[in-house]
Structure 1
Amino acid sequence: MKTQHTIIALSIGAALLSLGIVGGRMSVTQHQAANTSAAAPEKKVLYWFDPMKPDAHFDQPGQSPFMDMALVPKYAGDATESAGVKINAQTLQNTGMRQAKVERQMVSLSMDATGILAFNERDVSIEQARSNGFVERVWPLAPGDIIAAGQPLAEVLIPEWTAAQQEYLAVRASGDANLISAARERLRLTGMPAGAISELEKNGKISARQTLRSTQAGVIQELSVRNGMTLTTGQTLAKINGISSVWLDVAVPEAQSAAVQIGGKADVLLAAFPGVSLNGKVTAILPTLNDASRSLKVRVELPNKDGRLRPGMSAQVKLASNSSNSALLVPTEAIIRTGKRSLVMQLNAENHFMPIEVTLGAEVGDKTIVLNGLSEGQKVVASGQFLIDSEANLAGIKTKLLDEKSATSNAIALDEADATIKAIDGQQVTLAHGHFKVVGMTAMTMAYPVARIDILKGLKVGDKVRAGVRQSDDGLIIEQLIKQGVQP
């Protein structure tokens, strides 16, 4: 019995000792947790923001004015705007992100467009009556007929010729050289052709009739001569358009017109002749912009020796610049277009990404020219950039705008051209300027807004200036006007 009591006492003691140890440990753990909690300071809130509009910052929490959601706090120590958003390597691997370098290359701009064949308006002849007369016979012709050079059009009776020829023959019989020369000149002034005058001198026979013939081959555009009609001096009988060459009128979008230059090559494919490629050259860039389509009309001249090219035919055209220029290029797929601006995700060290606003030029194959915003050698995200952009918005990373980089960026200079000031109206200036090659604006006279009113200081109508422009969301804007002969 005594032994049994001893065993029970020892068991109770062991249990109490165990509870004491556990309690001590719990007490120490709670104390350590309390100390740890006290040692960890609360994060400081820098500002609140809407992830869908990370550029807008707020001093107080609340509801977003942009979206139906609460504002999110931005804490000190989170991803900074200068470093960008950081994404771990595993996540990047899962998204299949690819990167590319900003490269500088020599590029020759080209573009695809459509066009319609038209008559060469420089190859036109007007057939007219040179003297008063009467139409006695008309050949069976009509507008649209293709004729050869020398084709008879009409036979005309010209009474005035009869008296002039009689006078010439009478004077010639006198042998007076001066009078003969004057009489021959009178025949010429009546409109008598040189061939008819030579025939008169040769056989001495008077002819008051003339067969009017076309002076060139081509298509009859107009035919106004009819049997029995009376003709007056200078009256138009026919209009003939040559077809040895034709024009191709090409509609070039305003934004792509930088690729077009006078003398540039044009590769033409006609729907009427599949597989047949024709070569032409740009002969003119018309100065008027089509307001409805925002396109320029570019004229390409094509030879048409066999006469197969007919006005009205449609064609696909590839226009190429005849010069190369140095430009910065990024893959086109790397660009995020928001509708108001264009962005790329720049890759910095240690998987940090920064949204960068860029100004874009023309596309060259699968790449796009960057006019402003990036420097050669920088890295950008070529795929997966939309996911990274969303992460940057959630982290409240502000997009690096062009204006913020203007002081430190090595971006391309403004597009410049010589100009003459035609008018100044408030913060708007009308310029007669040359070709802005990079932004694709041909030589013309047009009114532009200026970025700052001080740009116009000291300038007046008639001044010769060097104009610098940049492309904005609302069109071209004047960034500088440097008076010719004056140092900036």
Structure 2
Amino acid sequence: MKRTHVAAAVLVAVGLAAGGFMAGQHFGAPTERVARATEQQGERKVLYWHDPMVPGPRFDKPGKSPFMDMPLVPVYADEQNETGVKVSPGVQQNLGIRTATVTRAQVASSFDAIGTVQFDERLTQAVQTRVNGYVERLRVRAPMEYVRKGQPLATIYAPDWLGPQNEYLALKRAGVSEDILAAARERMRAMSIPDELLRQSEQSGVAQARFTVTAPLSGVVAELGVRDGVAVNPGMTLFRIAGLERVWAVAEVPEAQAVRLVRGQKVKAALQADASQTFDGELKEILPQVSSNTRTVQARFEVANKGGRLTPGMLLRLQVAGPVSSRLVVPAEAVIRTGSRAVAIVRKESGTFEPREVALGADLGDQLEIAQGLNEGEQVVASGQFLVDSEARLKSVLGGMAAAGQAAPAASAPASQMKAPAARGTFTAQGKVESVEPDSITISHEPVPELKWPSMTMGFSKPNPQAFPGVKPGDSIRFEFKKGGPMGWELVTVQPAGAGK
């Protein structure tokens, strides 16, 4: 019976001990629970802990922030060299952050201009007389009348042509040789007597002094220089006929766009008053003169006038097509323009967002050409980028404060002891290399009394990517460092532990 009581007592003691152990495991110190949870997070190595609101001080173990009523946050080795701003998926959804892809598109450097219709001066012909006489009958009585090719314009009476014709007819009746008759005909041609008028004289046997002036082409009478009964003399312009088969559209092009003009460029023209009526054209001339008032260049486009619907003074909207080229483009809303620079927010493969300054090319309406700063296939923020840019600026400011700030001792130290004097010059420490990156080396170092640093693991910037080529993870080293570099502290020398300085 006594043995039974002893066995029961032993079992109760074991149960109480196990219960106390489990309670201790469940109700242990917060710092220990955080440390264990941190160690169980895969292979991610914690470099140090810090307070995000006061990013300068670094701590070598977890705990509560001495500055704010919040726990310290770990910084992992795989995040040490990561730049940019992190935004959680939930916040991205709440802010409506939307991304677009940088693409390469075939773009024509086209632009619009307004042109005024004018006569094509190369199609204009003058109708003149080469004899003294007068206008016996005028068929066209007003300028800007439409005429057709061959249409009679006026009847001219030229009495000076009667003498040579009568002489020729008399020689022909006298039966003189053909050589004499040919000489007489050449004399009449020299006096500008039309061959048709001479044939009429030969057929009728009577000298003809009246002849009809006809239109040399279809168009409008741009200039009317005579009236009924007026006298005419050699070299006088009776009519000026402007052809309408083609017209000019003269446009004032700003200097910034004039540099993209090339002779031979095709143009699509539409009536300003009726966009459904379109015409095809081509750039013929760039007039060598710049207006000092408007800083524009006059460009002369030749436009086919289908059906004669275009008349001088009309306005045409010209769409000038430039050469097609392959260009990087992004949505216009994805670029933040501040006046002095243009910024795009790039989403990196790691999920962070990075502001990047870009050089802009042509404005393509809904899209902008990217001349420099982005690569094809990259993701840029097209909506909500102002919020990300503000966050990036804040992080940049806090990062600068961290680099210029003072290091802090362990989390258990009081806040009054966290402030150390500003570090100056070069400092020396010993440690072990944890990882080597192209632009930095992560070192677990011993305390640095000059800076009141405890033992911790942190990253140091390299002065250049080629520095310290022989250093590899696991090496025990003695190193010198100074304030500076992208990570706040920059290596000066790195030597194997035990070697002289």
TM-score, with structure 1 as normaliser? 0.57
Query: Does the aligned pair in 1 maintain the 2:245–2:305 contact within 8 Å?
Result: yes
Distance 2:304 2:82 in 1: 60
Match of 1:139 in 2: 139
Match of 1:280 in 2: 280
Instruction: Give, in angstroms, the shift of residue 91 of structure 1.
Output: 4.2
SS where residue 121 of structure 2 aligns?
Answer: coil
Match of 1:151 in 2: 151
CA RMSD of aligned residues (A): 3.4
Instruction: Give, in angstroms, the shift of residue 141 of structure 1.
Output: 0.8
**Does 2:375 correspond to 1:379?**
no
Instruction: Give, in angstroms, the shift of residue 191 of structure 1.
Output: 1.7
- Render the CA deviation track for 1:183-223: whole Å, top value 9, x for unaligned: 22222221222321232333332122222232222211111
Instruction: Give, in angstroms, the shift of residue 166 of structure 1.
Output: 2.7
Give 5+ residue unaligned stretches, structure 1: 1-35, 45-81, 398-488
Distance 2:393 2:175 in 1: 106
Match of 1:226 in 2: 227
Distance 2:109 2:55 in 1: 57
1:179-190 mapped onto 2 (5 Å cutoff):
179-190=180-191
Distance 2:341 2:161 in 1: 76
Distance 2:170 2:141 in 1: 40
Match of 2:309 in 1: 308
Match of 2:218 in 1: 217
- 1:134 to 1:88, Cα distance in 2 relative to 1, 3 A: same
**Does 2:346 correspond to 1:346?**
yes
- 1:140 to 1:239, Cα distance in 2 relative to 1, 3 A: closer
Give 5+ residue unaligned stretches, structure 2: 1-48, 58-80, 398-501
Instruction: Give, in angstroms, the shift of residue 369 of structure 1.
Output: 1.9
SS where residue 206 of structure 2 aligns?
Answer: coil
Query: Does the aligned pair in 1 maintain the 2:266–2:283 contact within 8 Å?
Result: no
Distance 1:83 1:226 in 2: 90
- 1:290 to 1:340, Cα distance in 2 relative to 1, 3 A: farther
Match of 2:85 in 1: 86
- 1:343 to 1:202, Cα distance in 2 relative to 1, 3 A: farther
Distance 2:169 2:104 in 1: 82
Query: Does the aligned pair in 1 maintain the 2:336–2:343 contact within 8 Å?
Result: yes
SS where residue 162 of structure 1 aligns?
Answer: helix
Q: How many residues align structurally?
A: 320
- Render the CA deviation track for 1:308-356: whole Å, top value 9, x for unaligned: 33222233343334x5322111112112223344332333454141231
Query: Does the aligned pair in 1 maintain the 2:358–2:370 contact within 8 Å?
Result: no
- Render the CA deviation track for 1:274-333: whole Å, top value 9, x for unaligned: 6x3423021424234445444444444444353333222233343334x53221111121
Distance 2:325 2:206 in 1: 71
1:329-478 mapped onto 2 (5 Å cutoff):
329-350=329-350, 351-363=352-364, 366-396=366-396
Identity percentage of aligned residues: 36
- 1:180 to 1:391, Cα distance in 2 relative to 1, 3 A: farther
* 1:117 maps to amino acid: V
Q: Which moved more, 1:187-196 or 1:152-161?
A: 152-161
Distance 1:362 1:277 in 2: 27
Match of 1:5 in 2: none
Instruction: Give, in angstroms, the shift of residue 240 of structure 1.
Output: 1.2
- 1:292 to 1:97, Cα distance in 2 relative to 1, 3 A: farther
Q: Which moved more, 1:381-390 or 1:340-349?
A: 340-349
Query: Does the aligned pair in 2 maintain the 1:282–1:298 contact within 8 Å?
Result: no
- Render the CA deviation track for 1:126-165: whole Å, top value 9, x for unaligned: 1111122233333351112222233333332323312222
Query: Does the aligned pair in 2 maintain the 1:116–1:250 contact within 8 Å?
Result: yes
* 1:353 maps to amino acid: E
Distance 2:257 2:314 in 1: 24
1:164-179 mapped onto 2 (5 Å cutoff):
164-172=164-172, 173-179=174-180
* 2:347 maps to amino acid: L
- Largest Rg, 1 or 2: 2
* 2:157 maps to amino acid: L
- Render the CA deviation track for 1:377-431: whole Å, top value 9, x for unaligned: 333222222233334444558xxxxxxxxxxxxxxxxxxxxxxxxxxxxxxxxxx
TM-score, with structure 2 as normaliser? 0.56
* 1:106 maps to amino acid: Q
SS where residue 248 of structure 1 aligns?
Answer: strand
Query: Does the aligned pair in 2 maintain the 1:347–1:353 contact within 8 Å?
Result: yes
SS where residue 161 of structure 1 aligns?
Answer: helix
Query: Does the aligned pair in 2 maintain the 1:83–1:352 contact within 8 Å?
Result: no
- 1:320 to 1:42, Cα distance in 2 relative to 1, 3 A: closer
Q: Which moved more, 1:385-394 or 1:249-258?
A: 249-258
- 1:96 to 1:225, Cα distance in 2 relative to 1, 3 A: same
- 1:272 to 1:359, Cα distance in 2 relative to 1, 3 A: closer
Match of 2:197 in 1: 196
